[in-house]
Amino acid sequence: MKSFILSIDQGTTSSRAILFNRDSEIVFAAQREFTQHYPQPGWVEHDAEEIWQSVQAVVASALEGAGVRPDQIAAIGITNQRETTVVWDKQTGKPVYRAIVWQSRQTAPICERLKEQGWQKSIQEKTGLLIDPYFSATKIAWMLDEVPGVRERAEHGELLLGTIDTWLIWKLTGGRVHVTDYSNASRTMLFDIRRLQWDEQLLELLRIPESMLPQVRPSSCVYGMTDRALFGEEIAIAGAAGDQQAALFGQACFEKGMAKNTYGTGCFMLMNTGDQAVSSKHGLLTTIAWGVGDRVEYALEGSIFVAGSAVQWLRDGLRMIEHAAESEALAAGVESTDGVYVVPALVGLGTPYWDSEVRGAVFGLTRGTTKEHFIRATLEALAYQTKDVLAVMEEDAGIALNGLRVDGGAVRNSFLMQFQSDMLDVPVDRPVINETTALGAAYLAGLAVGYWADQNDIAAQWKVDRTFVPQMDDAKRRTLYDGWKKAVHAARAFK
C-alpha cells in the first residue's frame, strides 16, 4: 500500500503542495506565491503558465523536503481558487490571454446587460448563482469578444477553456485529459446544477462554443494519470474540488445542516444541504458541494469579502499593529469596544447585502476611544458579518445550526472565535488540522483509490483542537448585534 496523498492547493495568492498520511497528518507542506497582475483598476489577472510553474515547484519541494519518492504517492488531489478562468490552444498548450481571476470586475458591463435583459431569475434557477463578474461565464465571453482572433480560433475548435483545476489536470496529464468536477462546474454560471449538464441556452446567450468545454466528472474519481515525463512515474489524479467545497469536505461536514466557515482574506461559509439544491431568497448562492460515486450533494454559500484582510488593513494601512496575531491580545485587553463599530465594507458588502457601492465606516467614536477599541471592533465585525450570513442561511435552509466548524488563518485568534460563538450562540469547533482545504482534496483523491475506505472512515479522523462555547447572555448579544445592524444601515446610507 502506498504511503501518502499529495494535495495541490492552488489559491489566489499562492500555490501549495501538501503531503498527507493516512492519519490525515501533514507530512510536509511547501508554498510559493506568484504574481498578481492589475492591468486596469478593478481588473485582476494571473499568468496561467506561472501558476503551472509554481505548482511544479511546490510539488518538487514537498517531495524533496519530505524525502518521498513519486512511487510512494497513492494519488493526487487538486483544489483551487474557484471561477478563475483560462483559455488555451489545444495544440500548443499556450494560453490565449492571462487567466481572469474571480475578483476581477472587467466583465461588469456584460453582467449589467444580462440583468437589463431580464436573465437574473432564469440564471439563478439554472445555476444557483447571481449574475456577477465573479463567475466564469462572462470572463469567457470577454476573452472571446475582446482578445483579437480568439473567437475565430474557438469556432474552429482550436481552443479549450477551464477553471484552474481543469488547467492543472490538463498540464499534469501532458495535455491528454480535459475535465472538471461538479463543484468547479457549478461556479461557471454555465452549468445546470440540477440537470448536471452544461446549459445550452446560456452557452448560446454568451456565444461560447461547446467544443471548448471540459467534460464534467465527479469530485472523487480517477481523471487520468500524470505524464511520465513529470515524475518518472504515473500517479493517479483522483480528486478535484473548488477550494471552499474542498474545505467543507475536509471538515467532514457530510450531514445535511453541517456548516463550516473559512476565515481567510474573506470568509466563505458553506452549509451542506444534502441532495437538495436549496434556492435562496436572501442572496446566498446555491452550489454543488461535490459528487462522490453517483451521488451529488449541494450547499448554500455566503460570501464575506473582507475578513482577515481587515486585519491586514489594521497592520499595513492604519499601522495599528505589526503582526496580525497581535490583534488578539490588544482586543482582549479591553472589556468591550466601548460602543465603537467598524463596518469593514472596504470593497462593498457581500451576503446578504450585495451592495458594491457601500464603503467602510466607523461609528461611536468618543474622546475615550483607543486603538484597542478600534482593533476589537474590527475583529468583532468578522463575527457580526458571519452572523448576518448564518441568519439567512438558517432561514433559507430551514435548518438551525448546532455547531460551526472553522478554519483559515484568522481562526488562530481565540478572542475572535469566542466572540463568534457568543454572537451565534452555537459552539464553534476549531479542528487540529487547519489546512482543511488541502485535506479535503486529499480525502477526495484518497477515497477514489481506496486509500481511505469511505466517508465514515474520514469523519472519524476529524479532531477538534478547541471548542468555543457561548458564554454571553441573550440580552447582551441582542444589544450588540442591534448596534451592528444600525451601523451597517448607516454605512449604506452614506453613498
Ligand X SMILES: O=P(O)(O)OC[C@H](O)CO
Query: Shortest distance, CB of residue 81 to ligand X, whole angstroms?
Result: 4
Query: Shortest distance, CB of residue 272 to ligand ADP, whole angstroms?
Result: 21
Extract the C-alpha cell encoding 228: 511520465
Tell me, residue by residue from 276 to 315, as one string, x for binding to ligand ADP by CB under 6 A and - for no binding: --------------------------------xx-xx---
Identity at 132, one-letter amino acid code = D
Instruction: Tell me how far apart the alpha carbons of residues 466 and 327 are, in angstroms, rounded to a whole number.
Output: 20
Residue 95 vs 344, nearer CB to ligand ADP: 344
Regarding 388 and contact with ligand X (CB under 6 A), the answer is no
63-122 positions binding ligand X, by CB under 6 A: 81-83, 102
Is residue 207 within 8 A of residue 141, CB to CB? The reply is: yes
Extract the C-alpha cell encoding 313: 488593513
Query: Shortest distance, CB of residue 348 to ligand ADP, whole angstroms?
Result: 18
Instruction: Tell me how far apart the alpha carbons of residues 276 and 288 are, in angstroms, rounded to a whole number.
Output: 10
Identity at 184, one-letter amino acid code = N
Identity at 222, one-letter amino acid code = V
Is residue 33 within 8 A of residue 13, CB to CB? The reply is: yes
Regarding 324 and contact with ligand ADP (CB under 6 A), the answer is yes
Residue 242 vs 446, nearer CB to ligand X: 242
| The binder of ligand X chosen from 4, 7, 12, 159 (CB under 6 A) | 12
DSSP secondary structure, 198-230, as one string: E-HHHHHHTT--GGGPPEEE-SEEEEEE--HHH
Query: Shortest distance, CB of residue 110 to ligand X, whole angstroms?
Result: 19
The one of ligand ADP, ligand X, none whose footprint includes residue 312, by CB under 5 to 8 A per kind, is ligand ADP
Tell which residue, 414, 63, 119, has the closest CA to residue 263. 414
Is residue 193 within 8 A of residue 127, CB to CB? The reply is: yes
Regarding 244 and contact with ligand ADP (CB under 6 A), the answer is no
Bridge partners (DSSP) of residue 296 are 291
385-414 positions binding ligand ADP, by CB under 6 A: 408-410, 412-413
Tell which residue, 129, 96, 105, has the closest CA to residue 41. 105
**Exposed, middle or buried, 60 (CB in 10 Å: 0-12/13-18/19+)?**
middle
Residue 243 vs 380, nearer CB to ligand X: 243
Instruction: Tell me how far apart the alpha carbons of residues 201 and 168 are, in angstroms, rounded to a whole number.
Output: 28
Annotated binding site: 12-14, 16, 82-83, 134, 243-244, 265, 308, 312, 409, 413
181-210 positions binding ligand ADP, by CB under 6 A: none
**Exposed, middle or buried, 189 (CB in 10 Å: 0-12/13-18/19+)?**
buried
Extract the C-alpha cell encoding 128: 444557483
Query: Shortest distance, CB of residue 453 to ligand X, whole angstroms?
Result: 29
| The binder of ligand ADP chosen from 77, 264, 431, 483 (CB under 6 A) | 264
Instruction: Tell me how far apart the alpha carbons of residues 389 and 303 are, in angstroms, rounded to a whole number.
Output: 8
Tell which residue, 338, 333, 346, has the closest CA to residue 304. 346
Residue 213 vs 424, nearer CB to ligand ADP: 424
Annotated binding site for glycerol: 82-83, 134, 243-244
The one of ligand X, ligand ADP, none whose footprint includes residue 83, by CB under 5 to 8 A per kind, is ligand X
Annotated binding site for ADP: 12, 16, 265, 308, 409, 413
Query: Shortest distance, CB of residue 396 to ligand ADP, whole angstroms?
Result: 25
Instruction: Tell me how far apart the alpha carbons of residues 477 and 471 are, in angstroms, rounded to a whole number.
Output: 10
Instruction: Tell me how far apart the alpha carbons of residues 182 and 7 are, in angstroms, rounded to a whole number.
Output: 18
Regarding 11 and contact with ligand ADP (CB under 6 A), the answer is yes
Total of residues contacting ligand X (CB under 6 A): 11
User: DSSP 3-state assignment of 337?
Assistant: coil
Q: How is residue 313 annotated by DSSP?
A: I
Query: Shortest distance, CB of residue 303 to ligand X, whole angstroms?
Result: 7
The one of ligand X, ligand ADP, none whose footprint includes residue 244, by CB under 5 to 8 A per kind, is ligand X
235-264 positions binding ligand X, by CB under 6 A: 242-244, 264
Strands 404-407 and 428-431: parallel
Residue 226 vs 286, nearer CB to ligand X: 286
Query: Shortest distance, CB of residue 359 to ligand ADP, whole angstroms?
Result: 19
> In this structure, how many other beta carbons lie within 10 angstroms of the beta carbon of residue 110?
18
Residue 151 vs 187, nearer CB to ligand X: 187
The one of ligand X, ligand ADP, none whose footprint includes residue 410, by CB under 5 to 8 A per kind, is ligand ADP
Residues that bind ligand ADP (CB under 6 A): 11, 13, 264-265, 308-309, 311-312, 324-325, 327-328, 408-410, 412-413
- Chain contacts with ligand X (rule: CB under 6 A): 11-12, 81-83, 102, 242-244, 264-265
